[in-house]
Amino acid sequence: MPDFNKPHALTDVPMHYCPGCTHGIVHRLVAEVIDEMGIEGDTIGICPVGCSVMAYDYFNCDMIEAAHGRAPAVATGVKRANPDKFVFTYQGDGDLAAIGTAETVHAATRGENITAIFINNTTYGMTGGQMAPTTLPGQVTQTTPYGRSTDVEGFPVRVCEILSQVSGVALAERVTVTDPANVRKAKAAIRKGFEFQKNKQGFSLIEVLSTCPTNWGKSPVESLGWLKENMIPYYPLGVYKEGAIR
Amino acid sequence: MERMLMKGNEALAEAAIRAGCKCFFGYPITPQTEISAYMAKRMPKVGGVFLQAESEVAAINMVYGCASSGIRCMTSSSSPGISLKGEGVSYIAGSDLPAVIVNVMRGGPGLGGIQPSQSDYWQATRAMGHGDFQIIVYAPSSVQEMADYMGKAFNMADRFRMPALILADGLLGQMMEPVVFEDKEIKMSDASDKPWAASGHGNRRPHNIINSLYLQADELETYNVERFKRYEKVKEELPELESYLCEDAEIVVAAYGSVARLAKAAVEQARAEGIKAGLARPITLYPYPERELRAACKTAKKVLVTEMSMGQMVDDVRLALECRLPVEFFGRTGGVVPKPSEILAKVKVMKGAE
């Protein structure tokens, strides 16, 4: 029987996320994995600037808020001092793939035993819907009012594809949470990431294609449809790299 | 007791390890790279962690993470690299975390040069990053003091839960002097004395949160006011100043760090020539030793501030003396080290102009 109770690793603080946003689902999946592995007391979560910056109020494990883009460096500091603890980061696309690119790539190259949960919703949600490194060509945002022009703004960043070439990576997998089947796959990927971490087998990143109905100007249901039609073709789901590095 | 001949940078590193610093995160930059090199060699032997980060920004954020988990840690850099650490230092201060940062200053602005300088005084004491905060700043003046104040910096950072900075310069970092270390077993720090640390709650306590975000203005104000109340305690207890031949001095030379040693030579020469000169050497730059400086200037008619900059600490001297005495300035900048003879010449001009 599926368990519909709230995972222990989530607090009772009401979440501030907009209706239809998929952060809530992903938070729950991370919390379920923490519960199932029985590691809440040994886990430290790191949430940098972005919509999920206040996730320190939502997770019941010890939490650290981090500067924009710096979560993988902060996680490195925690993990190197506490190699037997579990450390995860929870980052958005602007954070992980723009301002924090260096921290992301280098934590990965070092094969840090940490797990990065990467929310790709093609926009800067918290600041009101500006172009993200993952904004699709032609996509209208506050700072691409005529649509993202690849001549002017360049091309969207495919993080899993980049990390698939990085030796320190144990897992780079792209999932989504648009329907129950995908939610189950997403949870399995997160669990895999934490297992690699448990066995000290390298850096793991789970990219979750997510929605931002508020900044996309769409209803929650329309948003799920837009994600499937537009995001998945550009960001194909699947495992890009898997295997222990040590 | 162990007596060693060491570079200032190496003394800093050894003293940090002896103070229980478990993790060092750094990035190469002249003239402080010996700290990293020493740590890289020594840390693995004593059960500590040395990690060369991908940038100064990453290094200070590794410190932020490590300090969040309650472990003694540090980073070091030189002027341009310290600018990059500013954001991280602000987060560390805003989250009330203890950590030690070393700045072995070189000439600036911009890429500047690699020769010694004191031109980051304002940055260290006024603007290490954005927001309402201060950090403890120690200015050692010898290789021995580099070692002594490193231990103190860790202790005070822990006690007041705020970052502490060792403000040295290329001269102190690079020169070799004998240094004495107490015989003490090296014991790496753990989080056992830090109930606030985010190191895993072990199902024994509610979850800890390390954070500097407060979206309600009155809440943020409350935290800032509380922090400044703590600074009042820091100001009461920490100020240190070395006073030399000031009891009857008519001209007091104020200088810190390596320049204070050059100024001391100038003061001694002035005394030999019959001029009643003295030296006031601030050891803490924040909190500034205001009372101690006023006491050192009790009989003074004039004050000369000398620095390796265009004049930065001179502001604090004027503030401390409340403009009751004429304060003059002599400095060299860009990496040029002032000669004792130049300082003496300035003292003589001031004496003659009386």
Q: Which CATH superfamily is domain A23-242 in?
A: Thiamin diphosphate (ThDP)-binding fold, Pyr/PP domains (3.40.50.970)
* Pairwise CB contact (< 8 Å): A82 & B71: yes
Residue A1 pLDDT class (50, 70, 90 cuts): low
Q: pLDDT per residue over B273-328, tens digit each?
A: 999 999 999 999 999 999 999 999 999 999 999 999 999 999 999 999 998 999 99
Distance CA A8, CA A6 (A): 6
Which residue is listed with tokens 């926009």? A123
Phi, psi values for residue B16, rounded to 5°: -65, -45
Angle, helices B8-18 vs B143-160, to 10°: value is 40
Q: In this predicted structure, what is the pLDDT of residue A235? A: 98
Q: Which CATH superfamily is domain B2-186+193-200+224-237 in?
A: Thiamin diphosphate (ThDP)-binding fold, Pyr/PP domains (3.40.50.970)
Question: pTM for this structure?
Answer: 0.98
Residue B44, preceding peptide bond in cis (omega within 30° of 0): no
Which residue is listed with tokens 């945002």? A141
Kindly report, as residue ranges, where domains of CATH 3.40.50.920 are found in chain B.
Answer: 242-352
The string of DSSP codes covering A188-240 is HHHHHHHHHHHTT--EEEEEEE---HHHHT--HHHHHHHIIIIIHHHS--EEE
* Pairwise CB contact (< 8 Å): A64 & B213: no
Cβ(A61)–Cβ(A43) under 8 Å? Answer: yes
Q: pLDDT per residue over B86-106, tens digit each?
A: 999 999 999 999 999 999 999
Tell whether A16 is within 8 A of chain B (Cβ): no
Give the residue on A whose Cα is nearest the Cα of B213. Answer: A65
Q: How many helices (H) and strands (E) does chain A have?
A: 10, 9
CATH value of B242-352 in 3.40.50.920, 3.10.450.50, 3.40.1010.20, 3.40.50.150? 3.40.50.920
Cβ(B191)–Cβ(B25) under 8 Å? Answer: no
What's the CA angle centered on B81, arms B75 and B86, to 5 degrees? 75
What's the CA angle centered on A89, arms A84 and A91, to 5 degrees? 170
Tell whether A231 is within 8 A of chain B (Cβ): no
Q: For residues A2 and B207, which has the higher predicted lDDT (pLDDT)?
A: B207
Q: pLDDT per residue over A93-135, tens digit each?
A: 999 999 999 999 999 999 999 999 999 999 999 999 999 999 9
Nearest beta carbon to residue A41 from set B49, B58, B200:
B200
Tell whether A67 is within 8 A of chain B (Cβ): yes
Phi, psi values for residue B86, rounded to 5°: -55, -45
Q: In this predicted structure, what is the pLDDT of residue B169? A: 96
